[in-house]
Amino acid sequence: MLIENTIHPFTVSVEALEAWSRRPHKHNFFELVYIEKGTGRQCINDHNIAYAEGNIFLLPPFDCHSFQIHTPTRFVFIQFNALFFQKDSKQLMDYSDWFNNLHYIISTYNRLPGDIIHSASDKALLINLIKGIEHEYLSKQDPYCSIIRANMFALLNILMRNFESTYRENNPVGDKVAGDMLQYIQYNLFDNDKLRVDALAGEFNLSANYVSEYFKKKTGESLKEFILKSRVNVAYSRIQHSGQSMKEIAWDLGFTDASHLSKMIKKYFPPGNQNAADNTASCIPSSL
C-alpha cells in the first residue's frame, strides 16, 4: 500500500480530471477535498459512496482512499499537518494547542465517510473559505500565510461544529448541563486551570463538592478518568497521525514521560482495540 508523504506543512492543489489514475493510497497528513464540479464515487477504507458537485470530504491520515470518476471532475485538495498550526514567522498567531483538539474531535466522534457538511449555510461558508484559501495560496501576496492560517482555523472550527452536532444527535446526553460540560471539557482538554473542580463548579453553577458526583451520575464515568482517557485518546491519535515520537508527544501533552504515556495507552487501548487491521483490500478496484 502506497503511503504518500509530504515535508510541507500546507499545500493546495487543483486538478481537473476525467479519470482517476492513481492507485488507492494513504498519506501522512490531513486532506480536505472539495468537489467543485463532477460526479463519481469515493472509496475510503471499506466504504464506497457517490460524490457530486459541492461535496466536501475530510480524509484523516492513513485512511486508504481513491476516487472513481464518472463525469469530468474538478478537485480542490487542501493538505495540512500539525506543523502548519504552530506560531508563524511573523509571530502573529499560534494555533498549536487548538490543533490538539482537532485530533480529539476526529478520533472521538464516529464520522461516517462521505460529505461532512449537512447544513446548507455552513456549506456555503466553507466553500467561500476554500475559495479564499485557494486564491491566497496561488497569489502569494503577503501576509498570505497568516490569512490562510486564519481561514483554516475558521474552516476547521465549522467542521468540528458539524462533527459534534452529528455526534450529539446520535449519542444524546439526557441532561443539557452534562452535555454542555462534556463539550466544555473537550474544548479545554489541556487547560488544567479550566478543568479544576472549582472552575467547573463556577462555570456550571454547581457546588464544588458535587461536581464529580454529578458528572459520574450523568455520564457513568468519573470526571478524572474521563479527562485522562480523553487526553490519552489525543495522544494515541497523534502517535498514529502526526509522525512525532512518543517522547515528543508525551512532552507536548503533559505526560510525565514516554514510559508513562505508553502505560496509559496500553491501559485504554489494549492491543485488540487499536484498530490495527488494515482494511485496504476493498479499496482496490478490480481494474487495478
pLDDT score, position 102 = 67
**pLDDT class of 203 with cuts at 50, 70, 90:** very high
Instruction: Report the C-alpha gap between 199 and 28 in whole angstroms.
Output: 38
- The topology (CATH level 3) of 176-273 is Arc Repressor Mutant, subunit A (1.10.10)
Residues of the chain with CATH 1.10.10.60: 176-273
pLDDT score, position 2 = 44
* Predicted TM-score of the model (pTM): 0.66
Average of pLDDT values for 130-149?
A: 91
pLDDT score, position 22 = 78
Residues of the chain with CATH 2.60.120.280: 2-170
Which comes out higher in pLDDT, residue 222 or 103?
222
Query: What's the whole-number average pLDDT of the chain?
Result: 79
pLDDT score, position 279 = 34
pLDDT score, position 98 = 66
Instruction: Report the C-alpha gap between 230 and 158 in whole angstroms.
Output: 21
| C-alpha cell recorded at residue 98 | 487548538
Q: Most confidently modeled of 26-30, 106-110, 129-133, 181-185?
A: 129-133
Instruction: Report the C-alpha gap between 244 and 71 in whole angstroms.
Output: 40
Residues in the chain: 288
Residue 118 has pLDDT above 90, yes or no: no
CATH of domain 2-170: 2.60.120.280
pLDDT tens column, 43-60: 876 678 899 999 998 877
pLDDT score, position 57 = 87
